[in-house]
Amino acid sequence: MTEDDHADRNRDRWDSIADDWMARGEAAWVEEPHWGEWRIPESDLNLLPSDMAGRDAIEIGCGTGYVSAWMERRGARVRAIDISENQLETALRLQSEHGTDIEFVCGDAEHLPWDDESADYAISEYGASIWCEPSAWLREAHRVLRPGGSLVFLGSHPLCNICEPLNGDLPVVETLQASYFDLHHQDWGEEGVCYNLPLSRWFEVFRDIGFVVEDYREPRPTSASPERCEQATREWAVKWPTEQVFKLRKP
């Protein structure tokens, strides 16, 4: 297996574990917006405009579609894409149950099916932001955004990635395990391929593509967060970041 076939491998992985994420998706469709593994309230991060009436919004790597539902409730016209047919089956079922009108598409976020300059707002929460090659999916997001449009994405923090034990066991540890400057892709075999970059490289990619950075956040767990997420304990994440948020704008 090679990194070059990452899209097919990630599709197979998410199709195989889609049922494991069904209950989480069902709950999130009816809950107030919250973000990441630590369930940080929207009031703390402000990732969504409070009023999205009249805006064309896209979710890139939507999974079960709950972020898309949150945007539609705020008035947006929403389109969403995910590579996993099984994840989208859950999204479509929940759409039917909740009476939303979101356009769900099965496809690769590195090759978006939408026209140039057809969206005002784009978001990715642990979707394309970690499962797609950064320069590829960001260039596509930039293409489909209108001038003045926004892209927000949340994913793993590079510090968290380089503290993962080399044998793959989690949670992360308190010592560095890998080279920070060599970060690009992590090949987990049958579990797929994830991506991250050193912070300087992220900013270089944004400049090359043409995005302006409006904000950067490193969310920390709150007292209401769970004691453990997949990668880290809450005790670890209170001291060091496990997640990062970029807020970008297309001039």
Give the pLDDT of residue 166. 87
Band of residue 167 on the pLDDT scale cut at 50, 70, 90 = confident
Give the pLDDT of residue 168. 82
Give the largest CA-CA distance in the chain: 49
pLDDT in tens, 217-235: 999 999 899 999 989 999 9
Structure pTM? Answer: 0.96
- Answer positive or negative: Cα dihedral of 90, 93, 98, 100: positive
User: Domain 3-156+199-229+243-249 falls in which CATH fold?
Assistant: Rossmann fold (3.40.50)
Rounded CA separation 41/109 (Å): 26
- pLDDT at 3 exceeding the cut of 80: no
Take residue 164 and report the two structure tokens written for it: 């993962």
Residue 56 sits at φ, ψ, to 5 deg, of: -95, 115
Band of residue 188 on the pLDDT scale cut at 50, 70, 90 = confident
Mean pLDDT across the chain: 96
Give the pLDDT of residue 2. 55
- pLDDT at 1 exceeding the cut of 60: no
